[in-house]
Each structure stands twice: as C-alpha cells, then as structure tokens.
Amino acid sequence: MVVVTLVGNYPVAPLGGILALLWVRWSRTPWQEIGFVRPRSWTRDLAVGIAFGIAFKFLMKAIVMPLFGAPPINPAYHYLTGNPAALPGAVYLLIAGGGFGEEVVFRGFLFERFGKLLGSSANAKAGIVLLTAGLFALAHYPDQGLPGVEQAAITGLALGSMFAVTGRIWIPMFAHAAFDLTALVLIYWNLESAVARLIFR
C-alpha cells in the first residue's frame, strides 16, 4: 500500500496506477472493489465526468482558489504557456497520470485498502474520503506548493465523495482528466489570470 502510494505518477506516469492494477490481479481482488464496474451508459458517464471536470475547474480557479489567496498563475506549469512542443507530453501526463493513474491509486486502490481496515459504514467511508484527500493533497506539494495542496485537497474531497457514493471509478476518472485538461487549456492560452480575476478583481 505504501509503495503504490509513494511511487506517484510523475514523471513515469502512470506507474502508481499500473502497480495498483498489478496488485489487484496478484491479490485476486475483484475489479469492482476498486471501482471498475461497467457503467450502464459509457456515453452518460463520459459526458457527466467531462462536464463536471470542466465546471469544477472553473469554479476552483474563479472562486475557491482566490478565496485561499492563491496566485492567479500556477508557476509550476507556466512554462506550458504558448509552448506547443510541450503539449503532447502534458496531455499524456494529464490523462494517463492524472485521470487514470491518480484515480486508480487514490480512489480505487486506497479506498479498497482503507475499506478493509476501517469497514464500510458511513463514518468509515467519510474517514476514507478525508484520508485519501489528505494523501492526494500532500502528493501535490513537491511540485505545486501550498496552493497545489489546497486545490488537490478540495478536488480529492469532491472526487472521493463521488467515488464513495457510487463505488464506480469511471466518472471520477473522466472528471479528473477533464479538470486537468481544462487547466492546461487555461495555462496554454494564458487565460489563468483572467479566470482567476473573473469574480474577485
């Protein structure tokens, strides 16, 4: 559990997610226990995930993060502004590392492991959401500092709550990828400051 969590997903995305999936196969854990349940409608889950991810990114950038006093520009990724050469690698890392890797580790794998430890009651699930959001937030400190921790904590709470309620990983996975790709669009087109100052000037 510690190894999978600490491996992280960067820069060898999505190594953490791959290790978690190997553990599932090796331990013969049923796939549905880490959220891999066939959706009733792939189209609906994809649409809901993408819509939620985009809207949530704008909400975070325009309202939540300014209330925390976060800088309008994310300095860790500002090198992506107007940099087409960096786009393919960034898109790959955001989809494979963020959408897939981080969701498999922080929602699927850790929810299953903590669930075995803490149980499946409502209080246990709430505790697991808090624990996994905290670990997810800490994983963002090395490259993004305190603002990255704050944003990841709130994002982890939202995606973790979604996973805790549904037990399905697809919508959080699609939402996470859409959230990160929206952030990339804002950075690439140098729109971060404009969106961050949309409400609070």
Q: What is the pLDDT of residues 103-128, one digit of tens each?
A: 999 999 999 999 999 999 999 999 99
In this predicted structure, what is the pLDDT of residue 1? 62
Closest CA to 194 of 100, 48, 66, 103: 66
Q: Which domain holds residue 85?
A: 2-196
Q: Is residue 60 assigned to a domain? A: yes
Q: Is residue 113 assigned to a domain? A: yes
CA dist 78 and 87 (Å) reads: 12
In this predicted structure, what is the pLDDT of residue 5? 57
Q: Is residue 164 assigned to a domain? A: yes
In this predicted structure, what is the pLDDT of residue 122? 96
In this predicted structure, what is the pLDDT of residue 2? 60
Q: Is residue 152 assigned to a domain? A: yes
Say what the pTM is: 0.93
**pLDDT by residue, tens only, the chain of 201 residues:** 665 555 554 545 588 888 899 999 999 999 999 999 999 999 999 999 999 999 999 999 999 999 999 999 999 999 999 999 999 999 998 998 889 999 999 999 999 999 999 999 999 999 999 999 999 999 999 889 999 999 999 999 999 999 999 999 999 999 999 999 999 999 999 999 999 999 987
Give the chain's domain count. 1
Q: Is residue 201 assigned to a domain? A: no
The answer to whether the bond into 14 is cis (omega within 30° of 0) is: yes
Q: Are 112 and 128 in contact (CB under 8 A)?
A: no
In this predicted structure, what is the pLDDT of residue 198? 93
CA dist 99 and 169 (Å) reads: 10
In this predicted structure, what is the pLDDT of residue 97? 87
Q: Is residue 103 assigned to a domain? A: yes
Q: Is residue 61 assigned to a domain? A: yes
Q: Is residue 12 assigned to a domain? A: yes
